[in-house]
Structure 1
Amino acid sequence: MLAPITGRKVFFGMAAAFGVIISVNLFLAYSAVKTFPGLEVKNSYVASQHFDENRAAQEALGWSISAEVHQDELQLAITNAAGQPVEVADLTGTFGRATSVRDDQTPDFVFDGTMYRAPVTTAAGNWNLRFEAVARDGTMFQQRVVVLVER
């Protein structure tokens, strides 16, 4: 025979259920904040004010971008509209995972006459190269390139 359900049992059952829900929510919120890579820009409104003109200047360069990793070497090809390699005035970037900053690296690019090369440490999976290049005429070029690494 089962004991009768009392108000005390209902209270403890509900408290336990909500305790589990709240605990899981707190854990998920903590995990999300801990792994968040950070802000892209400090003030998105200010950044948006020049978005169209920056995009138009970038598109006017006519550059095509491709990036891949071969034997722990990141290879970044920048070509102009005629398909010729482009040597930029300045190139900086961050190479890492899309979801975490733990594996972020700052590649030291070297131009070899056809493309930029930099040693990197990778594992299989989805990586991102976020880079900024300054054209010889001073135009800023920014792009995020998805790089799939297979092992």
Structure 2
Amino acid sequence: MAKELTGKHVLLIFVVAFGTIIAVNLTLAFNAVSTFPGLEVKNSYVASQHFDERKAAQEALGWIVAGTHEAGQLRLTITGADGAPVEVAELQATLGRATHVADDLEPNLVFDGTAYVARLDIDDGNWNIRMKATAQDGTEFVQRVILDVIR
């Protein structure tokens, strides 16, 4: 014999169902906010004012950048429009996960005549190299290089 569905039962079903939904949403929101790496720039409007100029100068260099990680070695290759390796005046690079900054590191990249290399052991997965290089003529080159590490 089935029990009768009363108002208390319906209220309990309603509270449990929506309570679960709200708890899951709050948990996901908290985790998203706590792992967010932060702002790219302090004021996006100000940064946008010279975007086209910086983009044109960067594209005029004709650089192609690629990153690889094999056998414990991080390799950042910068080639010019002529296909030759480029040695920059200054290079800053941060290697980190795409979703959080907890694993960020700044590898000591050294130019070996063909690419910038650093001995580095990292876990498998999706990594980003956030690089800022200065060309010999002073032109700033900023790029995020995606690095998929699979062993």
Flag whether TM exceeds 0.5 (same fold).
yes
1:105 maps to 105
Determine whether 1:76 maps to 2:107: no
| In 1, Cα distance between equivalents of 2:5 and 2:55 | 67
Contact 1:94–1:106 at 8 Å: present in 2 too? yes
1:123 maps to 123
Determine whether 1:23 maps to 2:23: yes
1:60 maps to 60
1:119 Cα offset (Å): 2.1
| In 1, Cα distance between equivalents of 2:72 and 2:35 | 25
1:45 maps to 45
Query: Partner of 2:10: helix, strand, or coil?
Result: helix
- After TM superposition, the structure 1 stretch with the greater mean CA deviation from structure 2, 112-121 or 24-33, is 112-121
Q: Deviations over 1:45-67 (max 9, x none)?
A: 11111111100000111111111
Contact 1:64–1:79 at 8 Å: present in 2 too? yes
Give structure 1 regions of 4+ aligned residues with deviation exceeding 4 angstroms. Answer: none
| In 2, Cα distance between equivalents of 1:24 and 1:110 | 46
- After TM superposition, the structure 1 stretch with the greater mean CA deviation from structure 2, 12-21 or 55-64, is 12-21
| In 2, Cα distance between equivalents of 1:76 and 1:44 | 28
Contact 1:105–1:120 at 8 Å: present in 2 too? no
Q: Deviations over 1:102-126 (max 9, x none)?
A: 2211111111122111122212222
Count of aligned positions: 151
| In 2, Cα distance between equivalents of 1:115 and 1:90 | 14
Q: Deviations over 1:128-150 (max 9, x none)?
A: 11100011111110011111212
Q: What TM-score results when the alignment is normalised by the length of structure 1?
A: 0.92
Q: What TM-score results when the alignment is normalised by the length of structure 2?
A: 0.92
Give the aligned residue type for 1:96: G
Q: Percent identity?
A: 58
2:13 maps to 13
